[in-house]
Every structure is written in structure tokens, then in C-alpha cells.
Amino acid sequence: MPIQIRATGLTDVGRKRKMNEDSFTAADNIGLYVVADGMGGHAAGEVASRLAVEAILRHISGAETGNDTAPSHAVTRSLDDDHPAPARRVLSAIRMANQEIVRSVHEDQSTRGMGTTVVLAYIQGRRAYIGSVGDSRAYLVRGGRIMQLTDDHTFVNEQVRAGTLSPAEARRHPARNILTRAVGSQDEVEADLVEQDLEAGDLLILCSDGLTTMVDDHDILDVVRRQGGDPDRGCQALINLANERGGDDNITAILIQAGPPAAPPA
């Protein structure tokens, strides 16, 4: 049986930036949750993140109603017999977002260099299909523990995987925000995909790096536990803490709480 989902998303400009280049959506009706963190000067980051969120929402909602609007080549590239339909939908939606941004740059050269990170969760039944590009993250909180589900596509994370940097060194490294992948920065994009079965009591967290550069995993866990896993209070508490610690960047978080299945009608 499908689990009950309760979700809240919030975004905040932070304390150092004049403009919020993050975008998000929480579309409970189709089980889609997206966070995008834009980059590029002269408001281009804001444009890139908004285009990505809109394209992903349009593609997933179109597929939900049987009206898949993706170009045939985008759909074909995302088809993989190893993945179920919702997973293919996630991958093709991210490719659609990439094409949308690339097309926008071709039409307006003043936005050249813009791109965005993307992390999304598409929940069908008890399973979350999580796609990601960049360093916006997805976490799972379960049984008093927190686990990062996505990999950061950054220069320093590559060094950590290679063993040349420790996680502690990576956290303080001056190049920690240099991305190795972003949506819209190239004609083609490779997205990571994670499939995660959900249990009653689980909490999924999607967030931009404006949260994770200010608040470490242990403190994220502590905040959401103190809020009893409540998405409304948890979101606001995480943003407040990131701002208390400097608010160096825009901060966006979506908290998705999994509850027990709905009781059948009498």
C-alpha cells in the first residue's frame, strides 16, 4: 500500500546574498519534490534554477497524465531496461531541464555560463526515485540516523573518493564549491539515480548547499529530531540555524515525512 506523505519546502536568501538563485517545488499531487541551486551572474542563476524546476515539473506531470512532452531523442536516451518507468521518467526529466537551459542560453547570450544543480525525489507507492546533478543533496533520516543518499559532483569530492583529501579537509577546502557537473552547463548531462524504499517514520531531506555548508550532517539530524520529524518546524529550524551560522548562501530545504498507509474506507 502507498504510504502517507507530508512535505514542506522553504527557501531563504540567507544573510550574504542580495538575490535568491534557488528554486524548488513540492507537488504533493504527483509525489514530486525538486530543489535547484542556480549559478551564473546577472540573475542568470535564478533563471536557470527556475527553468529546471519548471521543465522537470512539466515533464513529470505530463507523463503522469499520459502526455509525455519530451522530444523523442530525450526519451530514447533515458530508456534503460534495468530501470522501471518512474526512474526513466526522472532521468529524462533532468535531460529535458538541461535542454531547456541550453536552448535559453543560445537564445540569450547574456545568460552564457548559467546552470543549476538539481536534486529531486519522485515518490511512487513506497519507493522514492531520486535524481541528482551537482551538490544539492538528498538525505534519509531513519531510526535515529542520517544517511546522505546522493554524491556531490564537486572537485573536492572527487579528491575524497581518490583518497587525496579527507572529508574534514574537503569541508574546509577553498575549492569545495567547484562543480564537476551541472544542469545546463553542457549539451548533455549525466544524472545520478538512487532508488530508496520508504518506511513509516522515514524523513527525506532535499536541500541546497546553502544549508550543508553551514550545518553538518550531525546537526541536521539533531535539528529534525528535536522537531519530532515535523516537516514545517524542521524546515524552518534548519534555515534558521544556517542563518545563525552565517547564512553565506541561499538556503532551500524540503522535508518529506513518510507516515503509515492510509486506513481503507469503511
On whether residue 53 sits in a domain, the answer given is yes
Q: Is the pLDDT of residue 11 over 80?
A: yes
Distance in angstroms (rounded) separating the CA atoms of residues 168 and 236:
27
On whether residue 265 sits in a domain, the answer given is no
Q: Is the pLDDT of residue 104 over 60?
A: yes
For residue 78, the enclosing domain spans 4-259
On whether residue 124 sits in a domain, the answer given is yes
On whether residue 149 sits in a domain, the answer given is yes
**In angstroms, how far is CA 11 from the centroid of its own chain?**
13
- Number of helices (H) and strands (E) in the chain: give both, helices first: 8, 10
Task: Assign residue 255 the CATH number of its domain.
Answer: 3.60.40.10
pLDDT band, very low/low/confident/very high, at 159 (cuts 50, 70, 90) = confident
- CB of 116 closer than 8 Å to CB of 48: yes
For residue 150, the tally of other CB atoms under 10 A from its CB is: 20
pLDDT band, very low/low/confident/very high, at 263 (cuts 50, 70, 90) = low
On whether residue 264 sits in a domain, the answer given is no
On whether residue 191 sits in a domain, the answer given is yes
In this prediction the pTM is: 0.90
| Cα dist from 189 to 53, 128, 134, whole Å | 16, 21, 11
Instruction: Name 113's Cβ contacts closer than 8 Å, sequence gap at least 6.
Output: 39, 40, 41, 44
How many independent structural domains does the chain possess? 1
On whether residue 137 sits in a domain, the answer given is yes
Selection from 216, 202, 241, 149 nearest residue 7 by Cα: 202
